[in-house]
Amino acid sequence: MQKKTINNIIKDNYQKEISIQFSLDGFSFCICNSINKELQHFTAYTFESSIATPELLLSKIEELFNQNSILNQEFENITIIHQNNLSTLVPSTLFKEEELKLYLDYNIKTLSNDFIAFDNLSQLEIKNVYIPYININNFFFQKFGEFEYKHHSTVLIDKLILHAKNNIEKQFFVNVTASNFDIVVIENSKLLFYNSFSFNTKEDFIYYILFTAEQLKLNPEDFLLSFIGDIEKDSEIYQITYQYVRNVSFINLDIPFFNEDNDISNHSNYTILP
Entry pTM: 0.94
pLDDT value of residue 103: 96
| Greatest pairwise CA separation for the chain in angstroms | 54
Q: State the Cα–Cα distance between residues 198 and 178, nearest whole angstrom.
A: 9
- Residue 257, pLDDT score: 72
* pLDDT, tens digit (0-9, with 9 covering 90-100), for 15-40: 899 999 999 999 999 999 888 888 88
φ/ψ region of 29 (left if φ > 0, alpha if ψ in -120 to 50, else beta) reads beta
Give how far Cα 246 sits from Cα of 19, 32, 217, Å.
Answer: 35, 38, 16
pLDDT, residue 39, reads 87
Helices (H) and strands (E) in the chain, counts: 6, 14
pLDDT of residue 193: 97
- Looking at residue 1, what is its pLDDT? 61
pLDDT, tens digit, for every residue of 204-246? 999 999 999 999 999 999 999 999 999 999 999 999 999 999 9
The answer to whether residue 9 scores a pLDDT higher than 60 is no
Other beta carbons within 10 angstroms of residue 123's beta carbon come to 17
pLDDT mean across residues, the chain: 92
User: What confidence score (pLDDT) does residue 172 get?
Assistant: 98
pLDDT digits (tens, 9 = 90+) for 98-138: 999 999 998 898 988 899 999 999 999 999 999 999 999 99
pLDDT tens readout for residues 58-106: 999 999 999 999 999 889 999 999 999 999 999 999 999 999 999 999 8
Domain ranges of the chain: 163-258
Q: Check if the beta carbon of residue 183 is closer than 8 Å to that of residue 172.
A: yes
Fold of 163-258: Nucleotidyltransferase; domain 5 (3.30.420)
Residues in a beta bridge with 128: 89, 119
Burial (CB count within 10 angstroms: exposed 0-12, middle 13-18, buried 19+), residue 199: middle
pLDDT in tens, 149-204: 999 999 999 999 999 988 888 999 999 998 999 999 999 999 999 999 999 999 99
More confident residue, 257 or 1: 257
Instruction: Tell how strand 77-82 and strand 148-151 pair up.
Output: parallel
Q: Identify which of 87, 159, 90 has the alpha carbon closest to the alpha carbon of residue 123.
A: 159
